[in-house]
Amino acid sequence: MSDHTPESPTLAVCGEFNIFTAAAMKEQLMTTLAANPAGHDIDIDLSDVTDIDTAGIQLMLMAKREAATQGKTLRFVRHSDAVLDLFDLCDLASHFGDPVLIRSQTRGPHES
């Protein structure tokens, strides 16, 4: 987690990103935020997130906002399907403003 390049994200979230891991995740996000000085870019890899819920999404919202107030750029990258599903459901993609891979399925999941 020390040398930051676009190819090696600052933090990778693996497995569950939900109420069960929320407390640990908050610690991890706080540590990551603290470890990076202002002006630094922080990338958080979500490619291995298998499950995400309200607790996860509000952690993301909080981290994003906190980074902005500290003058850091925090990006969520390589969103997994689970994350994208939730984004679509709650219409949050534009809220985060992070680049999101466009999936072949164009309609929202709530249409199915």
Is 103 near other proteins (CB under 8 A)?
Answer: no
Of the candidate residues 14, 15, 50, 95, the single one contacting other proteins (CB under 8 A): 95
Is 31 near other proteins (CB under 8 A)?
Answer: no
Site track for other proteins across 33-52, x = CB under 8 A: x-------------------
Tell me which stretch binds other proteins (CB under 8 A): 1-9, 41-49, 74-82, 92-100: 92-100
Reduced 3-state DSSP string for the chain: CCCCECCECCEEEEEEECCCCHHHHHHHHHHHHHHCCCCCEEEEEEEEEEEECHHHHHHHHHHHHHHHHCCCEEEEECCCHHHHHHHHHHCCHHHHCCCCCCCCCCCCHHHC
Nearest of 85, 80, 98 to residue 15 by alpha carbon: 80
Of the candidate residues 4, 26, 40, 72, the single one contacting other proteins (CB under 8 A): 26
Is 86 near other proteins (CB under 8 A)?
Answer: yes
Interface residues with other proteins (CB under 8 A)?
18-19, 22-23, 25-26, 30, 33, 53-55, 57-59, 61-63, 65-66, 69, 86, 89-92, 94-95, 107-112
